[in-house]
Amino acid sequence: MTPCDAPLEQLLLHAEVIEHITEHMYGCLPQEACGVLIGHSRAASRTLTVTQFIPVKNTAESPLHSFHLDPVHWTRLALTEKGLVGLFHSHPHTSPEPSREDMLQLPSFGGLLQVYAIARPTVSVASGNHSLQLHTYKITRGKTHMESPAPCKVNTLAQHNAESYALAPIPFDIHEG
């Protein structure tokens, strides 16, 4: 069973993870911030707990409106980091919902991960504290049938099975301690 095949009903984020994401996101403004989420899942309770956030440099050509994980750092993390469960990035100027570009990039890492988190910076008017609006999604996988021209001179179509990925909102709780 691959990570995105596991049923997931509950997401727990350690409070320190939220703090680290918030600090990193505000430190990257006005550009999009990104990083990976580390944690563990419990199949019996269908719970995923995120215990660590690792920032990754955004190497996008237009980092104000898109993100691209530094390929060297991302590759190293994907090959060596135990407990890699999710991806985070920010939308500094828009709502924390998956954009068209986010959905286009999803197949490149969807099979490795279980959750996708997007945040937007918010500032508490009363206290002036930096905070965030965070939306979390579970990554789901399915098969799609794509039609493409067959490699022959006859005008026929061949069907290929391809993995497709989708994002489904999943609520999260903050775990203190």
Percent of the chain with pLDDT over 70: 82
Give the bridge partners for 149, in sequence order: 157
Q: What is the DSSP string of 18-59?
A: HHHHHHHHHHHTTSPPEEEEEEEEETTTTEEEEEEEEEE-B-
Amino acid at residue number 151: P
**pLDDT tens, 54-105?**
999 999 999 999 999 999 999 999 999 999 999 999 999 999 999 999 999 9
The tally of CA atoms less than 13 A away on the side-chain side of residue 81 is 21
Is residue 137 within 8 A of residue 98, CB to CB? The reply is yes
User: For residue 42, what pLDDT band results from cuts at 50, 70 and 90?
Assistant: confident
DSSP label at 83?
Answer: T
CA distance 96 to 169: 11
Specify which of 24-33, 40-49, 157-166 reaches the highest per-range mean pLDDT. 24-33
Give the CA radius of gyration of the chain: 18
From residue 37, alpha-carbon distances to 13, 55, 62 in Å are 10, 9, 23
Write down all domains in the chain, each with its CATH number in brackets. 3-175 (3.40.140.10)
